[in-house]
Amino acid sequence: QVQLQESGPRLVKPSGTLSLTCVVSGDSITTINWWTWVRQSPGKGLEWIGEIYHSGSPNYNPSLKSRVTISVDTSKNQFSMKLTSVTAADTAVYYCARDSRAGMDHWGQGILVTVSS
Amino acid sequence: EIVLTQSPATLSLSPGERATLSCRASQSVDTYVAWFQQKPGLAPRLLIYDASNRAADIPARFTGSGSGTDFTLTISSVEPEDFAVYYCQQRSGWPPAATFGGGTRIEI
């Protein structure tokens, strides 16, 4: 079955860069799906960060566009996200997900990233 | 940016009752709306996509409806495992982007 697994540092210093990777298993990242990042601040709702297609340009949340970059590594069947100039407001659980355009139907378990000195 | 407003924020129900959750978009999103269920400590689970299509393995008691700016998720008879937070999500507009509503919590 399709599985997604987030990984990366769980603690990032303010003004630093948050870098996460999502490894996909059970599906090829080159299929007709979009690969998505979503975050959830503690006790808050869901926020769409952006998405990427294996052969196209990524789409980003306008509020984060100046700080976020999403990329794909087809050789490793994974995709990644970098968020620069982080502050405490970027502390959240970060999820990766597959968007088949019939909805975000598979999600990783999420990774809590804390921004703190 | 298209804003989704969910109501009510909290719905207090007993098992067996009917749940009606509302999601209103700030401009038309056609039928590009999905609904998710989230339980504490878990990732969201897709329930409905394209406004009215149930995702795989979702029980028939979950029904989505609507188009344009007004959407509804109905749970015909709430089961104990349905107590959770529900989010609507849209994908529309240009440049392509997605947004989530603020959520509705169903509690006992």
As averages over each run of 10 residues, the pLDDT of chain B (108 residues) reads 95 96 95 96 97 96 97 97 96 86 95
| A·B CB contacts under 8 A | 60
Instruction: Give pLDDT tens digits for A30-57.
Output: 988 999 999 999 999 999 999 998 887 8
**Does the distance separating the beta carbons of B97 and A102 come in below 8 Å?**
no
Is A110's Cβ below 8 Å from some Cβ in B? Answer: yes
Pick from A51, A103, A108: CB nearest B43: A108
Residue A102: the pLDDT is: 87
B79: closest CA of chain A, how far (Å): 22
**Sign of torsion, CA A86 B97 A70 B47?**
positive
Closest to A80 measured CA to CA, from A39, A51, A109, A41: A51
Residue A45 is which amino acid? Answer: G
Chain A residue with the nearest C-alpha to that of B96: A59
**Does the distance separating the beta carbons of A59 and B43 come in below 8 Å?**
no
**Does the distance separating the beta carbons of A48 and B100 come in below 8 Å?**
yes
Pick from B42, B49, B97: CB nearest A103: B49
- CB contacts, 8 Å: B45 with chain A: 107
Residue B95: the pLDDT is: 80
**Does the distance separating the beta carbons of A104 and B46 come in below 8 Å?**
yes
- Per-window interface: A 50-89 vs B, CB < 8 A: 51, 59-63
Closest to B63 measured CA to CA, from B29, B35, B104: B35
By the 10 Å C-beta count (0-12 exposed, 13-18 middle, 19+ buried), B40 is classed as exposed
- Do B32 and B50 meet the contact criterion of CB atoms below 8 Å apart? yes
Q: At CA B5, angle to CA A112 and CA B93, rounded to 5?
A: 85
Say if strands B104-107 and B10-12 run parallel, antiparallel, or are unpaired: parallel
B72: closest CA of chain A, how far (Å): 17
The alpha carbons of chain B give a radius of gyration, in whole angstroms, of 13
Instruction: For chain A, list residues with pLDDT below 50.
Output: none
